[in-house]
Homo-oligomer: A and B are copies of this chain.
Amino acid sequence: MTNSTTKRNEMKKLEKKIRRFIKERNWEKFHAPKNLAMALSVETAELVEIFQWMDAKESRTLDAATLKHLEEEIGDIMIYLTTLAKHFGLDPLSAAHKKILLNEKKYPLDGSIDL
Contacts and interface: CB of A to CB of B under 8 A. Distances in A.
A55 B58 CA distance: 12
Nearest to A14: B96
When all copies of this chain in the complex are counted, the total is: 4
Interface in A48-98: 48-60, 62, 67, 70-72, 74-79, 81-82, 84-85, 87-88, 90, 92-93, 95-98
In terms of DSSP, what is the predominant structure of the interface of chain A? helix
A77 B41 CA distance: 11
B32 A37 contact: no
12 contacts: A3-B13, A7-B13, A18-B100, A24-B109, A37-B48, A38-B48, A38-B51, A71-B95, A74-B95, A75-B95, A75-B102, A82-B96
A71 B81 CA distance: 11
Contacts of A10: 6-7, 10, 93
Given A42-B45, A45-B41, A32 B56 contact: yes
B78 A93 contact: yes
Given A21-B100, A81-B78, A100-B79, A42 B48 contact: yes
Nearest to A7: B10
